[in-house]
Amino acid sequence: MKGRRKAAGPKRDVFKQRLAKLRRRLAQTGLDENDPFLVSARANIQYLCGFTGSYGFLTVSAYQATLYTDGRYTTQARAQACGVDICAPSQRPLERLLDDLKKRKAGRIGFEENRLSYALYQALRRALRRARFEPLNGVIEQFRLVKSADEIKKIRRAARLNSKAFDNVCSRARVEWTESRFAAELDLEVRLLGADGPAFETIVASGAHSALPHAHPRPVRLAPNSLIVVDHGAILDGYNSDMTRALCFGRIGETEQRMVRGVSEAQQAAVAAVRSGVQAGTIDRAARKVLEKFDLADAFPHATGHGVGLEIHEQPRIGVGEKTRLTTGMVITIEPGAYLDGIGGVRIEDLAVVTKSGCEILSRTPRQLRVL
- Please tell me the total number of residues recorded for the chain in this structure: 372
Minimum gap (Å) between residue 258 Cβ and Zn ion: 23
> Which one, 282 or 333, has the nearer CB to Zn ion?
333
Distance of CA 224 to the CA centre of its chain: 32
Largest CA distance in the chain: 70
> Which one, 84 or 354, has the nearer CB to Zn ion?
354
Helix (H) or strand (E) holding 66: strand 65-68
Within 7-92, where are the H helices? 9-27, 42-49, 74-80
For residue 194, give the amino acid letter: G
> Which one, 157 or 317, has the nearer CB to Zn ion?
317
> Which one, 44 or 333, has the nearer CB to Zn ion?
333
Minimum gap (Å) between residue 351 Cβ and Zn ion: 8
Minimum gap (Å) between residue 226 Cβ and Zn ion: 20
166, with CB counted inside 10 A (0-12, 13-18, 19+), is buried
Q: Which residues bind Zn ion (CB under 5 A)?
A: 231, 242, 244, 333, 349
Minimum gap (Å) between residue 197 Cβ and Zn ion: 15
Minimum gap (Å) between residue 253 Cβ and Zn ion: 25
Minimum gap (Å) between residue 132 Cβ and Zn ion: 39
Strand pairing category for 37-39 and 108-111: parallel
When computed from its CA atoms, the radius of gyration of the chain, rounded to whole angstroms, is 23
> Which one, 152 or 229, has the nearer CB to Zn ion?
229
> Which one, 112 or 335, has the nearer CB to Zn ion?
335
Backbone φ/ψ region at 50: left (φ over 0), alpha (ψ -120 to 50), beta: left
Beta-bridge mates of residue 332:
307, 352
The pair phi, psi for residue 248, each rounded to 5°, is: -155, 155
> Which one, 157 or 306, has the nearer CB to Zn ion?
306
First to last CA, the chain: 56
> What is 187-219 written as a DSSP string?
HHHHHHTT-SEESS--EEEEGGGGGSTTPPP-S
Minimum gap (Å) between residue 136 Cβ and Zn ion: 27
